[in-house]
Amino acid sequence: MNEITKPPQGFDSGTTSGYDVEEVRKDFPILSREIYGKPLVYLDSAASAQKPRRVIDAMVTSMTEEYSNVHRGVHWLSATATTRFEAARKTVQRFINAREDREIVFTRSATEAVNLVASSWGRTNLREGDEIVISQMEHHANIVPWQMLRTEKGIVLKIVPIDEAGTLLMDEYEKLLGPKTKLVALSHMSNALGTINPVKDIVRIAHDKGIPVLIDGCQGITHLGVDVQDLGADFYVFSGHKLYGPTGIGVLYGRAEILEGMPPYQGGGDMIARVTFEETTFKGIPHRFEAGTPAIVEVIGLGAALEYLMELGLDRVAAHERDLLAYATAQLLEIPGLRIYGTSPDKASIVSFTLGDAHPHDIGTIIDRAGIAVRAGHHCAQPLMDFYNVPATARASFALYNTFGEVDALVASLHRVREIFG
């Protein structure tokens, strides 16, 4: 058996660049629980991250002390709730370095944010034969909304290919951009492979041709952060729950100029004709896109999550996660029969793998009994699974609270899988 108990030289267990992961873990109540009598080893943060006490407390305080509807009452509670709610919008603005807080639209999730753009911007701006460029590695959330628009509008989807390592082929990308291309919609980072895409180059190349860009930042933002002004993308979408915040809340960042030109989401493109009704009902961006009572408590929880992350320091988090990834990759490759999908030189915090003949579902079930949570499946990226000709992979994803010891636990449990499957 391999030497799996100690990180190799250069890995200073748990204290990468002065980052004290054991202290950080104390902020996450769930991490101290056991599963089947074993300490929980949570390696599924790419699906959804665990929540720090800060987020839980902020949501509890909101509901126990400061709760009311927002934007519509003169009473103290409503004013307080509104202040907290809008303060969270400013926190998001700060976190992604948006120019103005009205560029932050709260949605239910990243999925809803993409649908909002497809529905509002897409229906208004796209004609039959227009092209949208996506990639082979997109999450279904950045495929299906465009397919629905294709059915409705007769637009065409162009797919940027990837190589065997899971790296986007930038030459092919550039070639796909033509006079009919009306939007580029690509992920910052692949949730199934971990590949980090050169989003800044992607935006620059598209903008040189006058083509707007949407970036699906669901995974990228959690490991790399984002500066939307530096990036220059027209839209950037992400979900709160992968960023250590609550479920039910996502963000659509849109450049003010582009959002200004978009009709309300709910009610659809046809509603744009009823201008009088619209103007008396909606105040402009971002509220135009936030019809109905918003996810007040969740927005406040998201704000708390981002404050927490900014205090921890995204750079330190990123460094810790890079070390975990390097260590995990080295350890996993020692296991006979293990194959990693996604070996791009530029990747973060995700290891997708198969192990001999063992189906990822069986791997997931077996290591679950050792308290280890990984994702087994197609990761909502079936076209990508088809590319690699596998039905599924097992995926371990590493977050700010994971440790080298947890990597060791994963490796040990995979040896158990090998024992069972011979």
Does position 111 bind ligand PLP by CB under 6 A? yes
Cα separation, 391 vs 359, in Å, equals 9
Binding residues for ligand PLP, how many (CB under 6 A)? 14
Does position 376 bind another protein by CB under 8 A? yes
Does position 283 bind another protein by CB under 8 A? no
CB 113 within 8 A of CB 250: yes
H helices of 268-295, in order, are 275-281
Q: If contact means CB under 5 to 8 A according to the sort of partner, which of another protein, ligand PLP, none does residue 239 touch?
A: ligand PLP
DSSP string, 46-90: TT-----HHHHHHHHHHHHHS---SSS--SHHHHHHHHHHHHHHH
- Please state the closest distance from residue 348 (CB atom) to ligand PLP, in A: 12
In the set 26, 53, 180, 369, which binds another protein (CB under 8 A)? 369
Does position 239 bind ligand PLP by CB under 6 A? yes
- Please state the closest distance from residue 219 (CB atom) to ligand PLP, in A: 5
CB 166 within 8 A of CB 341: yes
List C-alpha distances in Å: 394 to 8, 222, 352: 24, 20, 6
By C-alpha distance, which of 343, 347, 342, 334 is closest to 414? 334
Active-site residue, from 4, 380, 390, 412: 380
In the set 385, 399, 400, 407, which binds another protein (CB under 8 A)? 385
Binding span for ligand PLP by CB under 6 A among 134-142, 143-151, 176-184, 270-278: 134-142
Does position 422 bind another protein by CB under 8 A? yes
∠ CA(60), CA(300), CA(252), 5° rounding?
145
Axis-axis angle for helices 404-421, 360-368 (nearest 10): 120
Does position 216 bind ligand PLP by CB under 6 A? yes
Cα separation, 418 vs 336, in Å, equals 9
Residue 218 is a catalytic residue = no
- Please state the closest distance from residue 331 (CB atom) to ligand PLP, in A: 24
Cα separation, 378 vs 394, in Å, equals 9
Pick 212 or 360: Cβ nearer another protein: 360
232 token code pair: 């220059």
Site map (CB under 8 A) of another protein, residues 10-49, x = contact: --------------------------xx------------
Cα separation, 219 vs 230, in Å, equals 18
Active site residues: 380
Residues that bind ligand PLP (CB under 6 A): 109-111, 139, 141-142, 187, 191, 216, 218-219, 239, 250, 380
Residues that bind another protein (CB under 8 A): 36-37, 357-362, 365-366, 369, 376-378, 382, 385, 391-392, 420-422
